[in-house]
Structure 1
Amino acid sequence: MKLESSTPSWFSPAIIHRLAGAALAAPAVGLVAVLFVYPFVLSVAASLRTDQGEWTTAHYREAFALYTGDLWYTLWVCAVSLLLLLLVSVLLGGVLRLHASPFIEFLFKIPLFVPFVVVGHAMRVFLAPHGTLNSMFMSLGLFNPDSLPSIAFNTAGLILALVWKNIGFSLLLVMGAFRAVNPSYLEAARIVGAGGLRLIKDILVPMSTGSIGVVAVLTFTSMMGSFSIPAMMGSGSQMLMIDLYYQMVYQHNNGVANALGVLSYLVSMGAAIYYVRRVAKV
């Protein structure tokens, strides 16, 4: 004769395990809800309502009419910056994985600790017509002092500044992924004659695609939301965060500003979904 347990079914180990997991996740979920979901819902509502409280899509029509070019410019700048950033991070991370150099690794991690405003100002000084870079080239007789080139206030300077600011974070994650690769794979490839570039291309990168994808997602969304560097380096076409600031501060048009913010959220949403799915798989 089987005796029934006096313990209620809701106190079973499986349910207790799930409740414990939910309790551990609750602070993080609450933080995301308060700092992301709630402001996002308010932003969507504000972008779809007039000052009189009527529902409308006029703010989105105005945003597209005024800033479609800037939206494509923002995507283009972020895409080019991301490609350059990944290329430099993978090559440099591969070299440092194969030939360790703590000093060089430290130098490239310095941007992690430099604020965005400082990066923007430093790049303005470094890349200006009479800045540090051109002064160095003039001392070598490479430039005419009367016709100095400048990339401080155009797209090239903006991309360079974004890449430099994000290189420390990107390299940190890429190096962590590369160091997790079993050294026996690298040794086996060396035995059959693989050089440094082949080791990076055929061993390190394929075995670290997940981490590289996460780097791409995080840096892309960071560049999409960048304000200080585009404000100090940009000219002509502007990135969306500059347009958002202009509409909110100078035009006092919170509806269009919120519409631009929602568009930025939507552009980044695909990257965020990929990131969440990747983390869930890991």
Structure 2
Amino acid sequence: MPVNHSAVLDGGRKRIWERLLGIAVTLPPVALVCTEYVYPFLLSVRSSLQKNGRFSAENYAYALSVYGQDIVFTIFVSALSVVLVLILSVAIGGYLTLHRNRFWEFLFKIPLFIPFVVVGHAMRTFLAPKGLLNSLLSQIGAVDINNPPSFIYGAAGIVIALTWKQFSFALLLVMSAFESVDHSYLEAARTFGAGTGRQILNFLIPLSRSSIGVAAVLILTSFLQNFSVVMMMGDSGGAKHIMVDIYSIITYLNDLPLANALGVISYLLALAPAILYLRGELTKHA
């Protein structure tokens, strides 16, 4: 059978052009990531390994010994906030997916458009010892307004503020995933008597696990790098978020290598869950 050399050449040229087009499409975002993230990160790593003009790991040893408690505190408040955000977004997102209510859906998404610094200031007013929350609770006799509890400074205030702010973002991602689930499964479940809770637990969550994982990683990253809320609501006499430590080191100590060491540690904290998630996804699809 004769070989059509012209068709073979045309097919080869087509594959070459497809590869070149693919490279041309992916090159700008890859270049942006390398310029805005990879290159500055490598500079931070290099700076963090310098001590008195020589390469050394002393900055990391000092950071872990002096700021170790703050690193643990950062992990704790970030992880707790992520857990609360996911619980609320999955529960409310599942309910709104099964029982559509445009008004409540819009209301829950309002925090998405409010900047972190505004959230921090609002929470300082809301959670202050004699703020709006304690004033309302005192009306029903739940607290003594003359000796009110304080939720504003420390882990409690930070967790409340971060959870409220990022809940709407998680809700947006979770509801998009839930709405993509084949509704025939849900209709079949309702036919066999499954209520709202069982539909969420047995169908929506398992079929949207990947999207929920993406939401968890993105939200955890935003919590680890947040500055305005933790600066405004942190306890000045206790453990601090590492972003506040980095700010203090740069502003008051002018020790850029030490600040970069803490920055690299925060980067690794954010990178670890992303790697675990991607590894799980690759293993699942292998």
Category of TM-score, reference length = shorter chain? over 0.9
Provide the C-alpha distance between the structure 1 equivalents of 2:106 and 2:128, rounded to a whole number of angstroms: 27
Cα distance per residue 1:222-268 (max 9 Å; x no partner): 10001111111111110111111111111101111000000111111
Q: Aligned to 2:151, what secondary structure does the other structure show? A: coil
1:197 CA displacement: 0.3
Correspondence list, 1:90-169, <5 A: 90-169=90-169
Rate the CA distance shift 1:5–1:274 in 2: closer, same or farther, 3 A: farther
The farther-off stretch of 135-144 and 208-217 is 135-144
1:154 CA displacement: 2.1
**Counterpart of 2:32 in structure 1: which amino acid?**
L
1:2 CA displacement: 4.4
The farther-off stretch of 181-190 and 130-139 is 130-139
Rate the CA distance shift 1:44–1:172 in 2: closer, same or farther, 3 A: same
Provide the C-alpha distance between the structure 2 equivalents of 1:136 and 1:12, rounded to a whole number of angstroms: 73
**Counterpart of 2:145 in structure 1: which amino acid?**
P
* Aligned position for 1:60: 60
Provide the C-alpha distance between the structure 2 equivalents of 1:2 and 1:228, rounded to a whole number of angstroms: 69
Identity of aligned residues (%): 46
* Aligned position for 2:257: 255
1:48 CA displacement: 0.5
The farther-off stretch of 201-210 and 240-249 is 240-249
Rate the CA distance shift 1:188–1:59 in 2: closer, same or farther, 3 A: same
Cα distance per residue 1:128-184 (max 9 Å; x no partner): 111011111222333222211110112111101010110111000000000001111
* Aligned position for 1:271: 273
Provide the C-alpha distance between the structure 2 equivalents of 1:219 and 1:51, rounded to a whole number of angstroms: 37
Rate the CA distance shift 1:126–1:239 in 2: closer, same or farther, 3 A: same
* Aligned position for 2:43: 42
Note the aligned Cα RMSD (angstroms). 2.0
Q: Where does structure 1 differ by over 6 angstroms across 4 or more consecutive aligned residues?
A: 6-10
**Counterpart of 1:219 in structure 2: which amino acid?**
I
Correspondence list, 1:2-41, <5 A: 2=3, 4-5=5-6, 12-41=13-42
**Counterpart of 2:239 in structure 1: which amino acid?**
S
Provide the C-alpha distance between the structure 1 equivalents of 2:140 and 2:199, rounded to a whole number of angstroms: 38
Provide the C-alpha distance between the structure 2 equivalents of 1:271 and 1:10, rounded to a whole number of angstroms: 43
Correspondence list, 1:56-95, <5 A: 56-95=56-95
Q: Aligned to 1:273, what secondary structure does the other structure show? A: helix
Provide the C-alpha distance between the structure 2 equivalents of 1:2 and 1:80, rounded to a whole number of angstroms: 66
**Counterpart of 1:19 in structure 2: which amino acid?**
L
Provide the C-alpha distance between the structure 2 equivalents of 1:59 and 1:192, rounded to a whole number of angstroms: 61
TM-score (norm 1): 0.94
Cα distance per residue 1:11-54 (max 9 Å; x no partner): 522222121111111111111011100100000000011352x1
Q: Is the 1:221–1:271 Cα contact (8 Å) retained in structure 2? A: no
Provide the C-alpha distance between the structure 2 equivalents of 1:176 and 1:5, rounded to a whole number of angstroms: 48
**Counterpart of 1:18 in structure 2: which amino acid?**
R
Provide the C-alpha distance between the structure 2 equivalents of 1:240 and 1:18, rounded to a whole number of angstroms: 44
Provide the C-alpha distance between the structure 1 equivalents of 2:278 and 2:41, rounded to a whole number of angstroms: 18
The question of 1:224 aligning with 2:196 is answered no
Rate the CA distance shift 1:274–1:14 in 2: closer, same or farther, 3 A: farther
Provide the C-alpha distance between the structure 1 equivalents of 2:233 and 2:253, rounded to a whole number of angstroms: 22
Cα distance per residue 1:57-107 (max 9 Å; x no partner): 111111111111111111111111111110000000000001111111111
Rate the CA distance shift 1:6–1:213 in 2: closer, same or farther, 3 A: closer
Structure 1: any 5+ residue segments left out of the alignment? Answer: none
Provide the C-alpha distance between the structure 2 equivalents of 1:204 and 1:86, rounded to a whole number of angstroms: 14
Q: Aligned to 2:50, what secondary structure does the other structure show? A: coil
Provide the C-alpha distance between the structure 1 equivalents of 2:95 and 2:221, rounded to a whole number of angstroms: 27
1:275 CA displacement: 5.7
Provide the C-alpha distance between the structure 1 equivalents of 2:119 and 2:139, rounded to a whole number of angstroms: 25
The farther-off stretch of 100-109 and 8-17 is 8-17
